Structure 1
Amino acid sequence: MTATLERKAIDDTAFARLEQEGRMLNPLVKGPTAKPGRIGFRGELALRFAPKLADEARPPELLCTQVMAVATVGEAQLPFFAGYLLSFEYLKDVAEVLGETLSAGGKYFLFCDNIDLSKKYQVPYKGAMFYVLPILESTVYNEMLDLLYLEKNDLKKKDTAGKLDAVANAALKYDITFDTITYAEGLELMGPVRNPNENRPV
């Protein structure tokens, strides 16, 4: 698909503003999936941009990584979004960046590095309900397969967009509930934030 067609498809979805603001980064998928009228995205969502120095474009200060999300052509809200955060605290940034694309009926999953590994929560924020979960399986994709009881082998033959469709379809039907806590309570419960650069060779 040409860049122009891809952009036109995105322009009529809830991704439009995020794309215009340059927030949809490093995509594995960014465009139509096999489901008619659906645009998929797998990549990173920029949450906070670094100040620009002259013409130098600097990397974002804060990212939501391993994002999996879908949007429907002609609809202003995202039905499904999942991603990884180093700290529960950044849920606020995700909610503020997604803003008007969130809905009360959407399925939004955030895997946070600093919450108790034995806990799963639901956190209402900005009119939406977020599932907040620990990261146990190393990737959001594997976590979502585990959470939704999807067999990895069943998805092996699908392309990246097809895998995203399968996860999104199952996520939209997900209706298990967990303890509901407020964002403020989550800040009290969260652990220290790990330095992602520690133990890396210099």
Structure 2
Amino acid sequence: MLLETYNKEELLININVNAATSDGAQRAFRGDLVLVEGEFHELSGKKLAPKAVLNQAVMLGDGDKIKFMGGCLRTVDLLPIFVEKYGADLAEECQPIFYVYNLRESFKVDMDGKEYVLIGLEEGMVWNELMDELYLEKSDFKGQSSGDKLITMYDGAKDYKPKYAMTPFTEVKSKAIELGEGRGAV
């Protein structure tokens, strides 16, 4: 399965869920998805931390395609990197929903023939934001395994018709704001 391949290639990090669904035909993932890999450190024999990730990624995979995709991009400039690295792995029906920290408005964009939804976000949890966007309630997930919750999320997205304006990506980039640098404890 595709998500297992991603895991072997160390593209899935900070994993909260990486499980088969109860039907065994699909795989669910929640965590971070590597967009730009870190360099290989020869002395330790490991990759260094990734240079860019899709934070709080939510994915449902079916064989060799991703059926549902959501997550949070730090900047809208990372979208073309996602499209280049993972765009071919998206199923035809998949309409990725990305929350973007450096946008304050919401848009639909077309990238390589695929419609992406970009929603401005100052702070929040992707899972909760997706629940709101897809009109799902906590009770919709009650008693389900962590993998099956992604099937419910996917089912909620089947009828999703965002009312955001289709906007050229260059225009969306021009509406991005400058983000301050994060700092740790002082």
The alpha carbon displacement at 1:65 in A equals: 1.1
Q: Tell me the residue number matched to 1:44.
A: 32
In 2, the alpha carbon distance for the partners of 1:147 and 1:63 equals 22
Give the alignment partner of residue 137 of structure 2, picking from 151, 156, 176.
Answer: 151
Tell me if structure 1 keeps the 8 A contact 2:19–2:146. no
Q: Tell me the residue number matched to 2:103.
A: 115
Higher mean alpha-carbon deviation, 170-179 vs 183-192, is at: 170-179
- How many residue pairs get aligned? The number is 184
Shift in alpha-carbon separation, 1:72–1:130, aligned structure 2, 3 A = same
Superposed structure 1 runs of 4+ greater than 6 Å apart: none
Q: Tell me the residue number matched to 2:185.
A: 201
TM-score, with normalisation over the residues of structure 1?
0.81
User: Which one has a larger percent strand, Structure 1 or Structure 2?
Assistant: 2
Q: What SS is found at the alignment partner of 2:33? A: strand
* CA deviation vs aligned residue, 1:93-113 (integer Å, no higher than 9, x gap): 111120311244312011001
The alpha carbon displacement at 1:157 in A equals: 3.5
Q: Tell me the residue number matched to 1:125.
A: 111
Q: Tell me the residue number matched to 1:68.
A: 58
The alpha carbon displacement at 1:185 in A equals: 1.3
Tell me if structure 2 keeps the 8 A contact 1:35–1:165. no
TM-score, with normalisation over the residues of structure 2?
0.88
**Which amino acid in the other structure matches residue 60 of structure 1?**
P
Matched, 1:138 2:124: yes
The alpha carbon displacement at 1:92 in A equals: 1.2
C-alpha RMSD of the superposition: 2.0
Shift in alpha-carbon separation, 1:127–1:55, aligned structure 2, 3 A = farther
In 2, the alpha carbon distance for the partners of 1:104 and 1:190 equals 28
In 2, the alpha carbon distance for the partners of 1:15 and 1:84 equals 18
Higher mean alpha-carbon deviation, 63-72 vs 24-33, is at: 24-33
In 1, the alpha carbon distance for the partners of 2:171 and 2:30 equals 30
Tell me if structure 2 keeps the 8 A contact 1:104–1:129. no
Shift in alpha-carbon separation, 1:61–1:187, aligned structure 2, 3 A = same
Q: Tell me the residue number matched to 1:191.
A: 177
Structure 2 residues without counterparts, runs of 5 or longer = none
**Which amino acid in the other structure matches residue 67 of structure 1?**
A
Q: What SS is found at the alignment partner of 1:163? A: helix
Higher mean alpha-carbon deviation, 15-24 vs 36-45, is at: 15-24
Q: Tell me the residue number matched to 1:32.
A: 20
Give the alignment partner of residue 84 of structure 2, picking from 87, 93, 96.
Answer: 96
